[in-house]
Structure 1
Amino acid sequence: MDLWQPVDIYCERLGPGFWAEPLNALSNLSFVLAGLLGLWLNARHARDGFVALLSAGVIVVGIGSFLFHTFANRLTGLADVIPIWSFVVLYIVFALRRFFGQSWLRVARTMAIAIVVAFGVMAIVPGDGSGTLNGSLQYLPAILGLVVFSAALSLARHAAARYILAATAIFLVSLAFRTVDIAVCEDWPLGTHVFWHLLNGTMLGVLLVAAARHGVKARA
């Protein structure tokens, strides 16, 4: 596989240049701002290493996505995808430990089950992961995780529940914008991927607020 092979999968990109996707590139500032918010909240309230790690991870998501929407090749595609899914895994572990008070052994078991379920879901969904719904099906496991956490925290009347519910709602809207990006090109040449970035930056900021305010002390 040629890692330097150019990638052109977004409506805004009309050529191979560095600034061929200016809105998609610059909107990654939303991730950086969300991460800085998390670091500020952590320094002010939590002073927790795990929260700091999550916040730094969001900044890395923004950097990786910026590289992908400027250089736009398979290598920078990895720089985009790997930080995203690394954050997902880290936040799940954080939530299990801090929101649900699971022991590390239970966290390991839950993560193993989650990984099996995620691969199972992706194995049975239609399409090749890129053409179907503009590749948005790859985020189905993340949606399922947010829905499960929202329901469980709400039932437990946990203080973080409203934040996770809000993050879930924002993510669903942002995913809709990601999905229709190519479809609206003819009528809206700039595309809608920029709103995916802006809303996801907001969503990750909400998750970091939940972590800093309500996930500092483990229950077990």
Structure 2
Amino acid sequence: MDWMEQIDIYCERTDFSYWSEPVNALTNAAFLIAAAYVWPRTKGAPLARLLAVILAAIGVGSYLFHTHATAWAATADTTPILLYILVYIYAANRQFWGLGWPLAALGAAGFVPLTIVATPLIERLPFFGISAFYWPVPMLIAAYAVALRHRRPETARGLAIGAGILCASLVFRSLDMGVCEALPLGTHFMWHILNGVMLGWMILVYLGDLRRSRALEGRAARG
């Protein structure tokens, strides 16, 4: 693999100069703002704190990709995203389902083959194909929301909202190259903004469930 290979897949980019995608680059601040917002709320919740750190890393990696536009920068962009997904699934399995760490980790690892199987199928769809790698994520979040709707209704609602925001975000990501003539700026920057909101929101959903569980345990201990 040529790590210095240059990549041009976004409407805003017109050449390979550093600031050819200024809006796409600068809107990665959404990830950093979201990480800074949730960080003080993660005290005493190590997995949530780890997710906040990864969320900031997503912003940095995506910034690098939208400025350098190379294969190594693309790896810096996608690796933290995959890591966030795997850590969140692990945390959700531990917290929402009460699984021990081996089963929780196995469930998180299962996302990889799920994506490998689902991506080629989604790629056949005319609109969804361009973001095929990402569509299994809102599908999985929605599945968790449905499965938890009776056991943990507040958490289920939070997850459903997260899935909805991500779907809207993916629509903007998928529209980008198709609207270049009408909108030279493209729509990819909205993927950044909505994704920053969504990933921060998902951490808050996890923290809310954790807080409610600890409150119940405290009442049980006092009773």
1:57 and 2:54 equivalent? Answer: yes
Q: Structure 2 regions of 5+ residues with no counterpart?
A: 217-223
SS in 2 for 1:155: coil
CA distance, structure 1, for counterparts of residue 6 and residue 193 of structure 2: 24
Matches for 1:100-111 after TM superposition, within 5 Å: 100-111=97-108
TM-score for both structures, normalised by structure 1: 0.89
User: Of residues 81, 84, 94 in structure 1, which corresponds to 2:81?
Assistant: 84
Question: Contact 2:120 / 2:132 at 8 angstroms: preserved in 1?
Answer: no
Cα offset for 1:140?
2.2
Cα offset for 1:162?
1.9
1:139 and 2:134 equivalent? Answer: yes
Cα offset for 1:123?
4.2
Larger radius of gyration: 2
Q: Which amino acid aligns with 1:199?
A: L
SS in 2 for 1:181: helix
SS in 2 for 1:139: coil
TM-score for both structures, normalised by structure 2: 0.88
Q: Structure 1 regions of 5+ residues with no counterpart?
A: none
Cα offset for 1:106?
2.3
- Give the total of aligned pairs: 215
Question: Contact 1:134 / 1:178 at 8 angstroms: preserved in 2?
Answer: no
Using the aligned pairs only, state the percent identity: 33
Question: Contact 2:90 / 2:104 at 8 angstroms: preserved in 1?
Answer: yes
Tell me which of the two structures has the higher relative contact order, counting C-alpha pairs closer than 8 angstroms and 6 or more residues apart: 1
1:31 and 2:31 equivalent? Answer: yes
CA distance, structure 1, for counterparts of residue 68 and residue 127 of structure 2: 24
Distance 1:113 1:78, change over 3 A: closer
1:74 and 2:71 equivalent? Answer: yes
Matches for 1:134-173 after TM superposition, within 5 Å: 135-173=130-168
CA distance, structure 2, for counterparts of residue 133 and residue 15 of structure 1: 27
Distance 1:82 1:8, change over 3 A: same
Hey, what does 2:220 align to over in structure 1?
none
Distance 1:20 1:178, change over 3 A: same
CA distance, structure 1, for counterparts of residue 184 and residue 111 of structure 2: 38
Question: Contact 1:58 / 1:87 at 8 angstroms: preserved in 2?
Answer: yes
Hey, what does 1:16 align to over in structure 2?
16
CA distance, structure 1, for counterparts of residue 179 and residue 81 of structure 2: 25
